[in-house]
Amino acid sequence: MTNIFIDGEAGTTGLQIRERLHGLNHVNLLSIDAEQRKNPLAKQALLAQADAVVLCLHDDAARETVALVDELVARNVHAPRIVDASTAHRVSDGWVYGFAELCNAQPQLIKQANRVSNPGCYATGAIAMLRPLVDSELIASSAQVCLPSVSGYSGGGRAMIEAYEAARAPLFQLYGLGLQHKHLSEIMHWSGLQTAPLFVPSVGNFAQGMLVQLPLHHSHLNHAGGTAAVLKVLRSHYAGSEFVHVIDGGSNPANLDATALANTNDLELHVFGNDANGHTLLVARLDNLGKGASGAAVQNLGLMFGW
């Protein structure tokens, strides 16, 4: 039996993690009384009972809970392993990045880790496309790439969710137009890029789903082969993967529904090409709350505890 405390279980990500874990006969979910949520002593006492804590909090609050765990460790008291779904520790020393498909060694690193940083939703799609291309040197680490992207509104927090559900929000909107989105450092760190990508996120009038695009000019590829070379690299990297699927766009319909993978932990990498024009388009499709958040957290817990 694995005792799990979801710190921030009332938020969107926490609720979905709880839903995914509820009913598993090897999981016991711990909860803190609502009036005690901000009482550090009460929270620390609950942490000492947990095998794992999942942090579904803003960054500062996540750091506060990690400090409580650190105190338990310093006192030689039982302390939980941590999966942090905030952005606080995604490029921090001492934390294992929780994208299990990042490279061959990553699942084992997650299994052994006491502290796992859950990836961001956009970052998951971007890194899934970029890391194999950089590792194979099909594109240079200095490559200048663009990442136009769209997400469902459920990733935007309570105010955005309420605005969309009350029909007070635009049907489609760009944001992050200062071009310094919080996912940029994470994308660069784990993809191997040395040049910041031009990342343009947007929100559409749908609850869950995400498309992250990576347009490539063949003149920017280091090897011949065009779209076929891109497909070969991705298929090799994700061969045998349970949740990541590489799909040749030549056999696809002429459109791509951003919502098709809602409520799953799947990630699809679609590859479209026009070699006559020297163009390849990669598109990562995922659920921003599935493989992009809650699903990934549960996948990481499963690796950590051998489910």
DSSP string, 264-282: S--EEEEEEEETTTTEEEE
Per-residue pLDDT tens for 190-230?
Answer: 999 999 999 999 999 999 999 999 999 999 999 889 999 99
Place of tokens 């695009």: 213
CATH fold of 2-119+293-305: Rossmann fold (3.40.50)
- Residues catalogued as catalytic: 121
At 282, phi and psi to the nearest 5?
A: -100, 140
Summarize the confidence of residues 74-95 as an average pLDDT: 96
In the chain, where the domains are located = 2-119+293-305, 121-288
Residue type, 233: V
Instruction: Give the whole-number percent of the chain exceeding pLDDT 90.
Output: 88
Q: Write out the H or E segment, with its range, that includes residue 232.
A: helix 226-237
Superfamily of domain 121-288: Dihydrodipicolinate Reductase; domain 2 (3.30.360.10)
Q: Is the pLDDT of residue 251 over 70?
A: no
Per-residue pLDDT tens for 134-148?
Answer: 999 999 999 999 999
**Greatest C-alpha distance within the chain:** 65
Give the pLDDT score at 128: 98
Give the pLDDT score at 253: 63
Per-residue pLDDT tens for 145-159?
Answer: 999 999 999 988 888
Average pLDDT, the chain: 95
Per-residue pLDDT tens for 179-198?
Answer: 888 889 999 999 999 999 99
The Cα-based distances of 145 to 154, 193, 200 in angstroms read 27, 9, 11
Output DSSP code: residue 291: I
Contact indicator for 245, 101 with CB cutoff of 8 Å: no
Distance CA(276)–CA(253), nearest Å, equals 20
Summarize the confidence of residues 271-289 as an average pLDDT: 95
Most confident of 100-104, 172-176, 219-223, 249-253: 100-104
Distance CA(161)–CA(155), nearest Å, equals 8
Beta strands, E only, 180-255: 198-200, 202-204, 210-217, 244-248
Summarize the confidence of residues 47-62 as an average pLDDT: 97
Instruction: Give the whole-number percent of the chain exceeding pLDDT 70.
Output: 99
